[in-house]
Each structure stands twice: as C-alpha cells, then as structure tokens.
Structure 1
Amino acid sequence: MDLKKIFLKDACPTKVGGQAVLEGIMMKGEDRTAVAVRLPNKDIHIKTEKLKEPAKWMKIPIIRGVGVFVGSLVTGTRTLMYSAEVLEGYDGPDAVEYEEDKLSLWLEKKFGEKGAWNIMLYASVVIALLLTVGIFIILPTAAVNWLGHFTSSEVLLNLIEGVLRIILFVLYILLISKMQDIQTVFRYHGAEHKCIHCFENGLELTPENCQQFYTLHPRCGTSFLMFVMVISLILFSLLGWPSLVWRILSRLLLIPVIAGLSYELLRWAGRSDNLAVKILSLPGLYLQKLTTAEPEKQHLEVAIAAMKAVMVSPDTPCYEGVCDKDGKLIQEEKHEEEPSMEEKKEQKEKDADSKCL
C-alpha cells in the first residue's frame, strides 16, 4: 500500500462523500445529494435532493458525530431502499420481474404507499442497530466472560474482547463479500473513492482520469467503523472488568461517545497527512481493501454522473430522471423547484391562518 497515493500531497480535501448502493452510487455535496443507479438498458437514473440546513448543535464537536452517525444510518438505509425501488420499477425490455412480498402488500394496504415506506425504512434501521449491538457489542463481552476464571488481568480481558470484536467484524465483511451483488456494490464503492480523489485533485471527471487513483480514501465510512472498534477497545479498557450486566450497560451507554470521537478522528484524517494520521488510518485503510474493488468504466461513469449532479450552483433545481452515460438528462420524471422567498412567506401566512381557523 502506497500511502502517498492515498494522502495525496496536492489534493484539496472537500466535504464531498458518498455511498455505494445497488447498481449505483449516492454522492453528497455541499447543499444536495444525488443517487445514480445504472439501469439494465445502461442508462443512468438520477435523483437529486436538497439537504436540510443543519441544526446549530451539529456544529458542536463530539455531539455532531452522534448526529452524523444516526443520520447516516437512516440516509444510508433510505438510499439502499430507493435504489432497489428504481430497479424494481424499471419496465424496459431488459426488466427483471420482482414479486412484492405479502408483508409489503399488507403494509401498503393498511398505511398507504408512503406510510409503508416509512415503516419499512425505520424498521430496517432499528433491526440493523439491534443486530449490530447484539453481534458486535454484547456477544464479544459475553463470550469473553468465562475467561475471568483463568485470569484476573482486566487489561488482558478487555484486550481479548476488543480483538474478538474486530475479528467478528472482519469475518462479517469477508462473508458478505462472497455474494455477487455485494461484489458489485464494492466495485461501485471503489468507483466512488476514485471519483472523489479525481475531483479533489482538480482533474476533469473522466473514467480515464479517475481510474489512475486508488480505491482507498482516508475519509471513508469503513475507516470510521474501524475507528469505532479501536476507540471502543481503549475506552472499555478504562472501565475495568465489572459484572457482565454492568459491562453490557456501560458499553451501550458509551456508544454515542465512541461515535462522536470516531467522527472527529475521521474528519482530522480527511484533512491532514501527517505521520500520526497515517498510522491511525492504517487499520481502516486495510479494511477498505475488503470493502472496495477495482471498478470498470461503467461503474466510474455512474460515480461521475452522481458527482456532476451535486457539484452545481445552489440555485439549480433538483430533479429526478434518466440520464445518458455522460450524466446528461434525457428523460425527466420529476422536477422540484425551490420555492422563492415570497412563496415561502405566503405559505407561512396560509399555515398561520389555517391554525387560527
């Protein structure tokens, strides 16, 4: 691994980030997000949305990391569900027939399409959180509990628990990487990183320019997860080795603190290239070798289309439609005009009048 190709000296770090989804990529810019999905006919479906103005407390160090962590879970799940919806809704000549499950049909009948969507979204987030906590927080500390009969070293017990947690996480990544759909997602993940590297180095966004960069990036969410593992190992070691119940409770209560610290460390790693940052970033970068794969031209084209869709002037209206491989809109499905100040004022007065009535 050549760190000089990851912590690029002449690069200009940005806040642009992304996420690989089913057959596509979500890019997040300064004021909007764009989800680009490759359709079976090779066109690219793109949807852009304005970002909400962040709350004031989102500027407070540590605390903002908790908000970003929770927000990323919700946004990530929503984006994955949206990409699946786009592929299911495609009705072209190469369309694949998808049969809606009975639960989805029942929810839509009971709560409507939008209500069913929200229920499935937040249920997915809750289930993901419960599984994550159960497998990567509770299981390791419970599994190591019996070792207390063989050693009284609190440092050793906490170290074994932390190492076991990291091993479980790596095994999980290795296991899902065997799935063909996940391998495709990893290619899009690599394309996302290459595209961001290309943009941060001031080069024209072309597949050829993007391809020269590494699939590894210091601001990747995978590195964030590795920071979480390492910081949790350090913090939990400071708590000693109390009873199993107190260990589980303490680990659950410290999740926000760990998420906040990990986020600040990731931000620092993304805008600095000193030796300390490189050393701290190594575990996450090695983990990225498992979650990214070398993309092909078709994957890079999707990443570039998503990047171009978010790197526009703030007054550019959002849209949803089908684009060609160069990201040029060829069929618009929805168009969202940002309301003017006068329109916002009128709507506010109408809402106030309706409340009075």
Structure 2
Amino acid sequence: MSVSYGGQAVLEGVMMRGPSCWAVAVRTPEGGIEEVVRDVTSPMKRHRIWRLPVIRGVIALGESLAIGFRALAISANVAAREEDEEGKVVTEITRGQIIFSFAIAIGFALMLFKVGPALLTNWLPIEGTTWFVIVEGLIRVSVFIAYIGLIGLLPDLKRVFQYHGAEHKTINALEGGSELTPERVQKFSLIHPRCGTAFLLWVMVLGIFVFALVGRPVWYWLIVSRILLLPVIAGLAYELIRYAGKHQENRVLMTLLAPGLWLQRLTTREPTLDQVEVSIRAIEEVRRREAGETPSQTASDARVEVMA
C-alpha cells in the first residue's frame, strides 16, 4: 500500500505530513533551516467509525487545521524571533497572540466565504430555491477567486505561494520516484490534484447541491445552515479529492476537476532552489520518522525537536 504525503506552505517554510507524523522546516533570518517534528495521534487509528467515508473527511479536515495552525505558529515564531548578543531569544510571539490571530482568521473566513454570500444573495430579488443557491454559489466562488488574486499581489504572500509551489514539486517528485535534490525537484509540476486550493473550490461547488436541500429559510437559519453544514460538505469534497488523487490517469475525472487544478495557478509560484531545499528537508524528516529513524541534524545551524 502506497503512502500519501501532504503538506502546507508556511512563513518562509513548508510543513509536510505522513500517516504518523509531520514536520515543518523553516528558513531562518540567518539563512539556516530549522526543523520541528511532531507525531500524529489520529482518532481514525483508534475507532473504525472515524474511518467511514465522509466522516473521515471531517476528521481529516480538523486534523489538517490543527496541524496547519501549529506549523504556522512555529514558522511565525522563527520569523519574528530576535536574539541578543549572547544568543538568547529576546522576542517571540506568545501563545495567546497566536490563538487570537487564528480565531480572527477563522471568523473572517466564515463571514467572507459563507455568511456574506448567503446574506447578499438573500437581499437580491431572486425567486425560487434553485436560482437562489446557484447565484449564492457563483458569488461565493467569485469572492474566493478575487480574494486569492488580491492577496497574491502582496510580497509576503508571494513568497508563501512560492513555498506552496515547492511543496507541490517535492511531493510530485517523490510520487514520481525521482531523487530528491533541488535541481531534480525543480523540474516537476506546480500542480497536484490533492491540493487544498482545489479542495476549497469543491467545497463551494458541492455546497450548491447540499444547500439546495435546505431551501431558502429565514436569514438567521440561513446563516446557521451555512455554518453547520460545512463539515458535511467538507467530508464530501475530501472523498472527491481523495479519489482523484488515486486515479490521476482517468482523463474524464481530471477534466471534471480541471477548474480546481487551474485555480492552483493563483496559489503557487515558481520557487527558488533555496525554497525547494526547505521543502525537501521537511519531507525527509517525515520519511525518517516514519521509518523509525532519529531525525537528522545535518546542518550545524538546524534545530530538531521531537515530541511523542
């Protein structure tokens, strides 16, 4: 049985995840690479019910968000950290600041991509449930694409998108059986069918069909339905992306999923060899841990933390 790896771009780095652990590698302000390795304790390993279709998608989404937030926190601390002349850390982002930032980010995303489009459509003179959910879905997708396009203009986000490209190239190289060197990995595609960008797009598209079952309730139930049904839609989208990842040779399926693949052009940029090196370091640490080896410390300026 083949092992599927996933990842996420973070601030000046990449997080890579395997079945039982994840690792984040970050380029420090001094030019070195710091690595942090963590084990994954998934409830899907303990109870069969959590491995059922759709339900496993909800669990996987929750795990991905939790790991992603932790990886972002690690990268933010590395980027913001300053040391005095003796090498002691004098500035570091606190846990409270990180939690507050993530809470604001989640609330903003729900308002912008879920609640906002629903309320805006509700104010429009639209008759019938079918047209209502279609227009709502079109508004939601349009806002999503416009948002990605705008944030991609920010210099700091451009670098994150470059690391996103490095992550995709590394996984494509690994799945293609290539040697993981920056020069070889750089030749691979920026696009991958299991990308989170494609997942988010299909969450919005599948939402049209799910919300059609709800109809057009009053505005406050409209808001509640958009939030409470999100896990169900995410579970369905997970199954679709998971199936696509295992059947990349199916041309009909790839044609249907093409919009999600095209959208990745907005969230990935061609990385530099230095950025690809960081991505490779992250996946190598995951593979070592999966193989039961002690994470390496190949660079003198790299720090590896391992916690059970």
Aligned partner of 2:224 among 223, 226, 249: 249
Is 2:263 the counterpart of 1:287?
Answer: yes
Q: 1-side partners of 2:168 and 2:228: how far apart?
A: 33
SS at match of 1:25: strand
Find the counterpart in structure 1 of residue 161 from structure 2.
Answer: 186
Give 2:300's aligned amino acid.
I
Tell me, in whole angstroms, the C-alpha distance in 2 between the residues paired with 1:283 and 1:18.
21
Would the aligned equivalents of 2:23 and 2:35 in 1 still touch at CA under 8 Å?
yes
Structure 2 SS opposite 1:330: coil
* Residue 268 of structure 1: how far off its partner (Å): 0.6
* 2:112 alignment counterpart: 135
1:24·1:302 contact (CA, 8 Å) conserved in 2?
yes
**Match of residue 123 from structure 2:** 146
Q: Which letter does structure 2 place at the counterpart of 1:252?
A: I
State whether structure 2 residue 142 is matched by structure 1 residue 167: yes
In the alignment, does 2:49 pair up with 1:72? Answer: no
The 5 A counterparts of 1:101-140 are 117=95, 119-140=96-117
- Structure index of larger Rg: 1
TM-score of the two chains, using structure 2 as the length reference: 0.89
Report the CA distance between 1:270 and its aligned residue: 0.8
Distance 2:198 2:235 in 1: 14
| 1:332 Cα offset (Å) | 6.2
**Is the counterpart of residue 278 in structure 1 residue 254 in structure 2?**
yes
How far did 1:334 drift?
5.7
Q: How does 1:1-357 map to 2 (within 5 A)?
A: 14-54=3-43, 55-56=46-47, 57-89=49-81, 91=83, 117=95, 119-148=96-125, 151-273=126-248, 274-312=250-288, 313-318=290-295, 328-331=298-301, 333=303, 336=306
- What is the CA distance between 1:142 and its match in structure 2? 1.0
Q: Deviations over 1:169-189 (max 9, x none)?
A: 111111211111100000000
Report Cα offsets for 1:103-160 as digits up to 9, x if no partner. x7xxxxxxxxxxx51x444433433222222111111111112323xx4232122111
Q: Is the 8 A contact 2:34 2:302 kept in 1?
A: no
Identity rate, percent: 40
TM value normalised by structure 1: 0.77
CA offset at residue 316 of structure 1?
A: 2.1
**5+ residue gaps, structure 1:** 1-11, 105-115, 339-357
Which runs of no fewer than 5 residues in structure 2 stay unpaired? Answer: none
Instruction: State the match for 1:348 in structure 2.
Output: none
Q: Bigger CA drift: 24-33 or 53-62?
A: 53-62
Shift of residue 74, structure 1, vs aligned partner: 2.1
**CA RMSD of superposed structures (Å):** 2.5
CA gap of 1:53–1:168, structure 2 versus 1, over 3 A, is closer
**Corresponding letter in the other structure for 2:281:** A
